[in-house]
Chain A
């Protein structure tokens, strides 16, 4: 079959002259002027016939071996990737891995607000609820933070809106302080995956109740994708007859990856 189809249509013989067709000027003109590309005119791999044979175009890829294969693209260097880091829409660029690393670099941001803990366990602290202290109550008290309530004033945190920045959080920095006059007192943190992990603990070694010992520490809790809450739990196994006993925690800030999606 030829690469071109006639533009002349005869009854019962599309794109052909019928045996009894008169050869007229119109018929000859249609023969050429209305001719179209036959589908066999192209390889139908790299290019294709479309618009009823009127046009030819590059074919969209339909597999890993069709379309413009990677071998047909220009060479690039080791650890380069195709993308764009220049401002605005524009040509695809060869981007070094170092530029990508920079785009994915974690950043520490100060926390300014979290879930309101009210007076949970008789606690007190700043109104933003990131800092909470227990003084007199005994027993265990949990402070559960919804990640969606975390806020920061950092511009990278708020780039997509202050209420969405929490989705960029990959870790939480927490400071803890515990006192003991006799028994073990400690604070643990937990996430939705890993269970409780103690990060600060103390116990008065002589247990006399005279004086007190205290310990402070800080740690980093990773936050996984899909995690919705973060808990800090104060364990206060003290004898209240010995006097007041302080435990407190402060969520100081968050590790974020500024370019994580917020939607």
Chain B
């Protein structure tokens, strides 16, 4: 079947005129067989129109980004509505919300206690945490892999020595979180801080060190407590 229907069908013996010849195309229409009625269709006005685009009826890589409907500034193609469905134009604010960090309270201790206090003695004491033992009861906490920072309360007291609490950055560089030093028994000082220590991807351990200088008395306490974590809830959990 031809793709086009003539606009003028001639009868045998009919007089040929310019007007009739012009009508052949001038009044022509597309034949229904001119399109596959899958990717292309003929609309109610007799015009060619794109019908449906699926992987089976359009050539691979044939659709350019220019061909997709326009979207506004800082919109992205994706889907935030529940379930599987149409692609949506998603505002960057919705994406930012999906990536927003969240503080979650630390759960139970793993092999190393979350709270540690030393009231006497000198020297260094390290508390090494396996990050994969960190937990939280927060509903958004799916895995330690979501942790991007650890929140720590520290306290140091000194009456005649320098007492410090350290943590370590992801690369192992020592980081002083809290310290108190007094070099006269007349000076008794305390210091307390809250620190947020970054956790890098693939980091496996995290260490807190209590460093108690020689001369520290029984009254000089050092204390550290892991209070919680900053997580990005939508980070992958595996």
User: Which residues of A are interface residues toward B (Cβ below 8 A)?
Assistant: 1-6, 8, 10, 15-21, 23, 31, 35, 40-47, 56, 58-82, 91, 96-102, 104-110, 173, 175, 177, 179, 202, 204-206, 208, 210-220, 252-253, 255
Contacts and interface: CB of A to CB of B under 8 A. Distances in A.
Contact of B16 (A2, A16, A23): A23
Given A64-B71, A67-B70, A108-B200, A76 B84 contact: yes
Contact of A78 (B16, B27, B53, B80): B80
Contacts of B88: 70
Contact of A23 (B21, B55, B66): B21
8 contacts: A2-B25, A58-B50, A76-B85, A78-B84, A97-B234, A101-B99, A215-B179, A252-B173
Given A17-B18, A175-B176, A216-B164, A42 B49 contact: yes
Nearest to B40: A47
B80 A79 contact: yes
A63 B76 CA distance: 16
Given A43-B45, A100-B95, A213-B187, A64 B70 contact: yes
Given A46-B49, A106-B148, 7 more contacts: A2-B29, A19-B18, A76-B79, A79-B78, A177-B179, A214-B182, A218-B176
Contacts of A41: 30, 47-48
User: Looking at chain B, what size class is its interface with the partner chain?
Assistant: 35 or more
B162 to A, nearest CB: 7
A68 B184 contact: no
Contacts of A102: 201, 235-236
B170 interface: yes
A157 B194 CA distance: 28
A19 B19 contact: yes
Contacts, number: 269
* Chain A CB within 10 A, most for which of B52, B81, B232: B232
B89 interface: yes
B68 interface: yes
B189 interface: yes
B49 A205 contact: no
Contact of B47 (A43, A107, A219): A43
Nearest to B190: A215
A216 B176 contact: yes
A173 B89 contact: no
Contact of A68 (B21, B28, B69): B69
A108 B236 contact: no
A45 B175 CA distance: 63
A189 B89 CA distance: 41
Given A47-B48, A205-B187, A21 B18 contact: yes
Interface in B119-166: 148, 158, 162, 164
Given A23-B16, A40-B47, A71-B86, A61 B148 contact: no
Contacts of B195: 218-219
A92 to B, nearest CB: 9
A64 B69 contact: yes
A252 B99 contact: no
B187 to A, nearest CB: 5
Contact of A253 (B21, B50, B173): B173
Nearest to A56: B48
Interface in B19-52: 19, 21-22, 24-30, 40, 43, 45-50, 52
A216 B178 contact: yes
A43 to B, nearest CB: 4
Contacts of B11: none
Given A41-B47, A75-B86, A97-B234, A68 B63 contact: yes
Contacts of A58: 50, 63, 67
B54 interface: yes
Contacts of B77: 70, 73, 81-82
A18 B198 contact: no
B118 interface: no
The 3 lowest CB-CB distance pairs between A and B, nearest first, are A211-B184, A81-B78, A46-B50
